[in-house]
Amino acid sequence: MDGTLKYSGPGNDQSKIIQNITLLTGSGSITGNFDCEVPAAIVYIPCTPQPTPAYAGPNQLNVFADSTMLEGNHPLSGTGIWSISNGAGGIITNPGDSNSYFKGVIGTTYTLIWSISTTCGISASSVNIRFVPCSPQPIQADAGPDQIYIQGNTTTMQANYPNPGTGQWTFIGGNGGVLSDSSKYNALFFGLSDSTYVLKWTITTICGSTSDSMIASMV
């Protein structure tokens, strides 16, 4: 920085001026030949730009999955980078993105560091993330036995009861079939003569779904 400094020594004679001083970030000495004794001066200038204060986001201690989105703040000044300081097997999808996805191992707790840096320094913040098994998991769906050579146009489905979870029948193959209630494990199924159907029974919870299929053939 170039500038002009007013003299403020003994007598406070403002007519004495120290000119053409170049100041750099850090500290330096101001010296010169004056008509009075002027001691060397140390001038400190703050480094700029300072990094944006880092914030890694709130702790995520009950993630019912094996991945989550990170919630670091966007660096208005500086460059951000994620790193893993604790926990094995974790993968940061995009370490330079404040909202990157992070994938880990179920049952593991991680500590991640969000650092924002400029030439002047680094600001860092940490967040703890724990991946836990999702609950309740759906039971394995069982659509029941295949029903071949059904006499007449009606049969009762024989799937397993969805506990925990909710059940849903869907048609995979065949035309003209109708279910009395597609959410009931023992729904009545109405089909056309000389027709074959494939139906899928799916059990779902917040943690996922399982499915199984069966064949129903009308004669």
In a shared domain, residues 112 and 154: no
Does residue 82 fall inside a structural domain? Answer: yes
Does residue 52 fall inside a structural domain? Answer: no
Does residue 124 fall inside a structural domain? Answer: yes
Residue 137 carries which DSSP code?
A: P
* pTM beyond cutoff 0.85: no
Q: What is the pLDDT of residue 35?
A: 54
Give me the domain span that covers residue 11.
2-45
- CATH code where residue 91 lies: 2.60.40.10
Does residue 92 fall inside a structural domain? Answer: yes
Residue 100 has pLDDT above 50, yes or no: yes
Query: Could you tell me the strand order of the sheet in which 121-131 lies?
Result: 60-63, 121-131, 109-118, 79-86
In a shared domain, residues 126 and 153: no
In a shared domain, residues 38 and 70: no
In a shared domain, residues 35 and 87: no
Higher per-residue pLDDT: 39 or 106:
106
In a shared domain, residues 76 and 119: yes
C-alpha span between 5 and 16 (Å, rounded)? 9
pLDDT digits 0-9 by tens, 175-186:
999 999 999 999
Q: How far is CA 107 from CA 119, 129, 168, in A?
A: 39, 10, 31
Do 202 and 176 touch, CB atoms closer than 8 A? no
Residue 26 has pLDDT above 80, yes or no: no
In a shared domain, residues 64 and 117: yes
Rounded to an integer, the average pLDDT of 137-163 is 95
Residue 36 has pLDDT above 80, yes or no: no
Q: What is the pLDDT of residue 21?
A: 43
For the chain, what is the radius of gyration of the CA atoms?
A: 36
Q: What is the pLDDT of residue 13?
A: 55
Rounded to an integer, the average pLDDT of 22-30 is 46
Number of structural domains (the chain) is 3
C-alpha span between 1 and 46 (Å, rounded)? 12
- Average pLDDT of the chain? 87
Rounded to an integer, the average pLDDT of 64-84 is 96
Does residue 83 fall inside a structural domain? Answer: yes
